[in-house]
Structure 1
Amino acid sequence: MQPETLKFNSNKVSKNHFKAWFGSFFYFYVMQLLSIQLFIYLIYKSLYEKSIASGAILVSLCTYQFYFAKRSETFIRFIKWLYFPSIFEDWTFVQEEPIQEKNSMIAFHPHCIFNIAFIWNNHINYQITPLASRIIYNVPFTGIFIRWLGISTVDAQNMKNKMKKGQNIGLLPGGFEEATLTSTQENRVYIKNRKGFIKYALQYGYTVYPSYGFGENKCYYTIEKFLSFRLLLNKLKLVGAYFISKYGWIPHHNFGIHTVVGKGIKLPQIVNPTQQDVNKYHEIYLEQLIELFNKYKKEYNQGDQILKIY
């Protein structure tokens, strides 16, 4: 089957350049940085200045976030309308075969800093439930936007609940460690000891689609020294990735981001898989991920790079 290719043409949306930059500011500053600063400001006003109004706003927003906020189709349409990916020179999506309607898992690499391609393509091309760390999900106020986008948590119980129903899900197996590994010079994935997603896929008979986003590692300057220490911070659930661009949190944009979803790996259903079963299919997954990278790396400007496995 020939790959299905959906390619973003920057020439067709040049008239929306201002909208795209506004969308980038909204996505990377309002949804991320400014919302956290608002939380800190309300904490300060409530505790230090004893402001009743600030305390009421703080309690109201936290109550809404943790008990009432949920996926909003209106908000998702708004994010689509902003179309912030049009700040990039090119934006490509390639799908080697259609994703089946049930029991599908998209495993995306690399995580990078904000996993832009994974989150965006979910709402345009995947139509799945993306799963993310509970830490990100529960960041005060930012978590409201995360919930509006329909993102759920990647913890074991939540995954099992969704997979029992055959729901299609997407995740980033490399997690915070893969974000910490982000390098503008190399393509890196953190996968050697990430096998839990394979175990669950075996238990529920899922098809796993390896996926790779070429170019996203160039979005930010990153600190690459002290890697062992920064990975240790990840084990303590602390941030280990340090980044900046010439626009602050808005990414560099003078290059393309190209997402490829490979052919699915149909796993047998094994209710109680052994470690040997998990290792076997994890190795198959890793081989196909490397093959996917090698197949498209020259087409998407990676030259003769090799995919570095951690």
Structure 2
Amino acid sequence: MTQSKKNTKKKDRIFCSINTPFSRRLETAAVTWQVSCIFIFAIFSLFVLANPLLLFTIFFPYLIYYVFDRTPVNGGVVRRYSKFFRSLKIWKYYCNYFPIKLYKTCDLKPTFTPQNELVGPKYIFGYHPHGICALGSFGAISTEGVNWSLKFPGIPTCLMTLVNVFNIPFYRDYLLGLGVTAVSRQNAIKVLKQNYSICIVIGGAQESLHAKVHKAELILDKRKGFVKLALEVGNVGLVPIFAFGENEIYNVLSTENKSLTRRFQLWMKNRWGFTIPLFYARGIFNYDWGFIPFRHPINLVFGNPIMVPKLENFSEKDVDNYHGLYVKELSRIFNEYKAKFGYNDVELELVA
């Protein structure tokens, strides 16, 4: 084989083919938008601020609204929850990119009838693992990309994320329209008391530092706040979700526990509420480097609900009991489904 042929073969392996079907290009565009939109909205905000015409027509009116609107933290996301926005075609492309699929181990009793009458419990869905960005939870729960309302009819659910992202002008409203809201105790209680369910990525930012390909290391032992929420509100089902493939969509560069890099990452997490793992995947036009996630299936398996009553004066023993039942159910679905999704040799590890 000549050198030129070798180079051609290498380029074909690295760069996207010009013969890529248009539908796959649309899928890549949808994912690129979602992983980049936080920066796009931030840049747009700066552009509006720097433009004299937009400063008075858009920025100042929006600033007044921004200062007084507390929707991300007061349960107001329920009013912003837009079925239309969640059903846009872009979310189908987003979910088909990986693809993302849902697997139910049982049917959940609806919270509302089609006539919007309250008939059942609400739920706290616990998503595992966090991975780098929990992209599977966004596609499956914050959009109709995999037909959430058909798979779980009558269970409107709000995904919860870091409160810091709601400080970005315009981006906050984009998230609220999708039913995404801030992960704080008071906000969660207010959403649940309006009979909307919530989804929490239990391991949080700290778990992203344990996001390793073909591993299942979870931060869960000490994460009991979601159980206390359920006990305080009552009539809540705790539903564990394990997302097989969430850790495979990015390559993560490991850092030693006592290294300067790891200490800096933990400092960021403690100081700002988020951290930045060292990771990479592919680019828009190439397959070997960039920050667009790899095309790898993300399969969300939903466990049976652990029903939690309302207890006025619950004890740590009560919390530990329901937390133990939750961990047991999460372990069950992981062990029953791991062979189906190529995790035969992987064990579920609770590292903290």
Q: Same fold (TM over 0.5)?
A: yes
Residues 1:177 and 1:140: Cα distance change in structure 2 (over 3 Å)? farther
**Residues 281, 210 of structure 1: alpha-carbon distance in 2 compared, 3 angstrom cutoff:** same
Q: 1:16 aligns with which of 1, 19, 23?
A: 23
Partner of 1:39: 45
CA shift digits 1:73-102 (9 cap, x unpaired): 3322225555212222x4321011122223
Q: Does 1:167 align with 2:196?
A: yes
Q: Do residues 249 (structure 1) and 259 (structure 2) align?
A: no
Query: For residues 138 and 99 of structure 1, what CA distance do their matches in structure 2 show?
Result: 35
TM-superposed deviation, 1:55: 3.6
Match of 1:199 in 2: 228
Q: Is the 8 A contact 1:65 1:141 kept in 2?
A: no
Which one of 80, 95, 104 corresponds to residue 85 of structure 1?
Answer: 95
From 83, 106, 111, the counterpart of 2:125:
106
CA contact under 8 A between 1:223 and 1:241: conserved in structure 2? no
Tell me the secondary structure at the aligned position of residue 299 of structure 1.
Answer: coil
When structure 1 is superposed on structure 2, of 55-64 and 195-204 the one drifting more is 55-64
Aligned with residue 275 of structure 1, among 303, 306, 316:
316
* Closer/same/farther in 2, CA of residues 151 and 62 from structure 1, 3 Å limit: farther
Please say if residues 216 and 346 of structure 2, whose CA atoms lie closer than 8 Å, have aligned partners that are also in contact: yes
1:268-310, Cα deviation, whole Å (9 max, x unpaired) = 3212211111112112211221222111111111121112212
Q: Which has the larger radius of gyration?
A: 2
Amino acid of the structure 2 residue aligned with 1:151 = V
The 8 Å contact of residues 42 and 54 in structure 1, kept in 2 or not, is answered as: yes
Moved more, 286-295 or 137-146: 137-146
- Give distance in 1, aligned partners of 2:190 and 2:312: 15
SS at match of 1:83: helix
Aligned to 1:52: 52
Q: Is the 8 A contact 1:92 1:259 kept in 2?
A: yes
Offset at 1:61?
A: 4.6
| Cα shift readout 1:125-155 (whole Å, capped 9, x = no counterpart) | 2531222221123333322221121112221
Partner secondary structure for residue 88 of structure 2: helix
Query: Structure 1 length normalisation: TM-score?
Result: 0.83
Residues 205, 270 of structure 1: 8 Å contact kept? no
Counterparts of 1:295 and 1:232 in 2: how far apart (Å)?
A: 37
Secondary structure, in 3 states, of the residue corresponding to 1:120? helix
Aligned to 2:105: 96
Identify the residue that residue 76 of structure 1 maps to in structure 2: 86
Bigger mean CA offset, 32-41 vs 98-107:
32-41
Q: Is the 2:30–2:90 Cα contact (8 Å) retained in structure 1?
A: no
Partners of 1:244 and 1:60 in 2: how far apart?
Answer: 39
Match of 2:271 among 236, 251, 260: 236
**SS of equivalent residue, structure 2 residue 102:** strand
Aligned mate of 2:248, from 194, 204, 218: 218
Q: CA 1:213 to 1:285, structure 2 compared with 1: closer, same or farther past 3 Å?
A: same
Farther-moved stretch of structure 1 (159-168 vs 214-223) = 159-168
Is the CA contact (8 Å cut-off) linking 1:105 and 1:206 kept in structure 2?
Answer: yes
| Paired residue secondary structure (2:206) | helix
C-alpha change, 1:269 and 1:188, in structure 2 (3 Å) is same
- In the alignment, the residues of structure 1 paired with residue 331 and residue 347 of structure 2 have an alpha-carbon distance, to the nearest angstrom, of 9
In 1, are the aligned partners of 2:105 and 2:302 still within 8 Å (CA)?
yes
Residues 124, 239 of structure 2: 8 Å contact kept:
yes
The one-letter code sitting in structure 1 at the alignment partner of 2:203 is G
1:24-46 Cα distance to aligned partner (Å, 9 max, x none): 222222x2222223334555x3x
Alignment partners' CA distance in 1, 2:194 and 2:92: 33
Residue 108 of structure 1 and its aligned partner are, at CA, apart by 1.0
User: 1:214-235: per-residue Cα shift (whole Å, max 9, x none)?
Assistant: 0011111223204552234212
* Correspondence for 1:143: 172
Residue 211 of structure 2 is aligned to residue 182 of structure 1 = yes
Q: Deviations over 1:201-225 (max 9, x none)?
A: 1221311011110001111122320
